[in-house]
Amino acid sequence: MNVIKRSGEEVIFDSSKIENAVKKANIATEETKRVSEEKIKEITDKVVEKCNTLNRAVAVEEIQDMVENELMRAQVFQVAHNYITYRYERALVRKANTTDKQILSLIGRNNEEAKQENSNKNPTVNSTQRDYMAGEVSKDITRRFLLPQEIYDAHDKGIIHFHDSDYFAQPMYNCCLVNLEDMLQNGTVISETKIEKPHSFATACNIATQIIAQVASNQYGGQTVTLSHLAPFVDISRQKHRKQVAAELADAGIDVDNEKINRIAESRLKAEIKAGIQTIQYQIITLMTTNGQAPFVTVYMYLDEVEEGQTRDDLALCVEEMLRQRMQGVKNEKGVWVTPAFPKLIYVLDEDNIEEGSKSYYLTKLSAECTAKRMVPDYISAKLMRELKGDVYGCMGCRSFLTPDRFTDTGTFGNPEHALNYVPGKHKYYGRFNQGVVTINLVDVACSSEGDMDKFWSIMNERLDLCHRALRIRHEHLLGTPSDVAPILWQNGAIARIDKGEVIDPLLYNGYSTISLGYAGLAECVYRMLGESHTTEEGKKFGLAVMQAMNDACAKWKKEENIDYSVYGTPIESTTYKFAKCLQERFGVIPHVTDKNYITNSYHVHVTEEIDAFDKLTKEAQFQQLSPGGAISYVEVPNMQYNIPAVLSLMKHIYNTIMYAELNTKSDYCQECGYDGEIEIKEDENHKLIWRCPNCGNTDQTKMNVARRTCGYIGTQYWNQGRTQEIKERVLHL
């Protein structure tokens, strides 16, 4: 068993340190009230036993809490008092400087928490370390100066989670839909250099990747671009190739008709499309932005975003090429084709591509093959989205959905972002963003109420009020932000074209941007209150009531403040482990509730529950409707590369049943022996979960490629112990 020090470094558990600490407190106690050596040993053994039952690395603070509790249970109050006093004095000393040890452990590459904080960040490289070091300072400033004590205390205890405090010191938003169309069609500025409208598809793709890198460096969440904004440049290249071919043939004295010219030009055009898409794929994968990771980019693919005709046909060419290249994958350092994390792909299922024989069904079949091999694309049902949102538009890759555009419904808000591609009366989604997230831990609400339903709703209302105050802090932190802090976003078209010196305030109201009330652990919450899963009729009824309560709260806040609050199924990655540890510390180990080192994402069926894929999607669809600010459902499937009809059946079920869903499979490779099956998760002698090649026994994570979906995105580095256990315990749904 290991211990996580306050610096984040993980070391071997040493029970003698517990015993010595109690002995020091005992020596400081009046002689008549001291305890025997045997009693100290007994208290130490009980703490060790409790630590062992957790089956994970234990934080120093957790151990100290256990020692306090055991001293109080033993009724050795004077010793307990001295222990608590010493602990408090040491805490005061640490508060004088709260960041040095964390930063030093990052530089020394032995901060286990940092290593597993983000499955797409490598904390051993300088750029990532620099970002983490800055993050430690930001978290410290946020804790001491920017958050009220009650908010920080609730965050620290895992009652709520104030997301991305490592970026909160600066006025940055979460995620966005990039207005690539405006920037490409009307020009932009990158690093004080004017970029004019490109004259070819290849150039448009190259500029798009530069924009993506700039946007990623000025926000902390994901971004989505759509291929429909690149499609118009295909015909520009087509006409260019036709002129070039005609001129070349004329110079050569060859007399050919237009049909032959067009055929040669189309061949060159397809080569350019291939090169352009390859530019997007490879540059995104290889880019390292200022926050030490590849940009979290999603590419949205929906043919009906453009008018029927040449542009839609050209968009189909782009979609096809994107799918084919993604299905191929990228080469790792050994030259083997593997699954990359980015860009994430979203493919929209609609009536013109869902049925065999429909015009674009060939793309749907290609999508199915790509999903079976590389886990993407994910799928949006245009049919369900129209029913739920009244429109069809992309989401951020993290699963965050903007509220439907209501600017055109009233005609009163106009064009506050001053976009050059604004069309009165046309809905607008690109150029909009999310202000940030605060998540309520639903499991803690249920455990705090001890199964009492009246108490549950009372605590729920208190926690929602706490979240609201925290969200207001996020919103108010952005108020007054001058456009100059991020010119690519606010001045040069990615979000807006506001003048220098102007503030972004108009974009924080009237539904232009959203702000998210996140939630986690509905499955465990329902089980704690009812003793049954939310897949049962009674469990579903209560689970939906909890979801409705959050929606009602958001509606109330929105009406009162004209800010678009929205319920969001948080894609907790590292936070799932933090929440689980806090729950165990506060409530002990409760079967089916706090007995794991993770809690369930959003409304999902618990990963260990046996359920059929089609049934899972059908049941979760009812909850997804009440998560309008963002949600995605998934089904865990085996290798489906030789069963594409089954993938297509699932896709059709998604189209008819649920708005947004994905299929999870495995895509691994061992660089030591060449094994390309599933890398397994095993427990080592210290009860730590590690990745191991079943063929050669390799456990060196730097010599294997593992890809798993963990929070909407595919992770290709490694995960903390809580998320690793969750991945290990997932059951197949097909």
Active site residues: 174-175, 396, 398, 400, 434, 568, 573, 712
Is there a contact between 70 and 46 (Cβ–Cβ < 8 Å)? yes
Length of the chain: 734
Peptide bond into 343 cis (omega under 30): yes
Q: Residue 728 contacts by C-beta under 8 Å, 6 or more apart in sequence?
A: 681, 689
Under DSSP, the state recorded for 518 is E
Alpha helix locations (H) across 96-148? 100-107, 112-115, 126-141
Residue 150's φ and ψ, nearest 5 degrees, are -65, -35
Residue among 302, 273, 299 at smallest CA distance from 285? 299
Euclidean distance between CA atoms 621 and 657, whole angstroms: 7
Euclidean distance between CA atoms 543 and 679, whole angstroms: 35
Q: For residue 411, give the 3-state DSSP assignment.
A: coil
Inter-axis angle of helices 126-141 and 100-107, nearest 10: 170
Euclidean distance between CA atoms 437 and 475, whole angstroms: 10
Longest Cα pair distance anywhere in the chain, in angstroms? 113
Is there a contact between 433 and 174 (Cβ–Cβ < 8 Å)? yes
The Cα-based distances of 545 to 181, 513, 527, 655, 686 in angstroms read 41, 27, 14, 26, 42
Which residue bears the tokens 């809580």? 722
∠ CA 666-285-164, nearest 5°, is 85
Euclidean distance between CA atoms 58 and 43, whole angstroms: 17
Cβ-in-10-Å burial (0-12, 13-18, 19+) of 374 comes to buried
SS (H, E, C) 520-588: ECHHHHHHHHHCCCCCCHHHHHHHHHHHHHHHHHHHHHHHHHCCEEEEEECCCCCHHHHHHHHHHHHHC
Is there a contact between 209 and 287 (Cβ–Cβ < 8 Å)? yes
Indicate if the alpha-carbon torsion angle 386, 341, 136, 487 is positive or negative. negative
Residue among 471, 454, 548 at smallest CA distance from 160? 471
Neighbouring-strand partners of residue 2: 12
Cβ-in-10-Å burial (0-12, 13-18, 19+) of 48 comes to middle
SS (H, E, C) 53-77: HCCCCEEHHHHHHHHHHHHHHCCCH
Q: Are strands 378-381 and 344-349 parallel, antiparallel or unpaired?
A: parallel
228 alpha-carbon distance from chain centroid: 24
Euclidean distance between CA atoms 248 and 607, whole angstroms: 62
Q: For residue 607, give the 3-state DSSP assignment.
A: coil
Euclidean distance between CA atoms 469 and 160, whole angstroms: 12
Euclidean distance between CA atoms 377 and 393, whole angstroms: 16
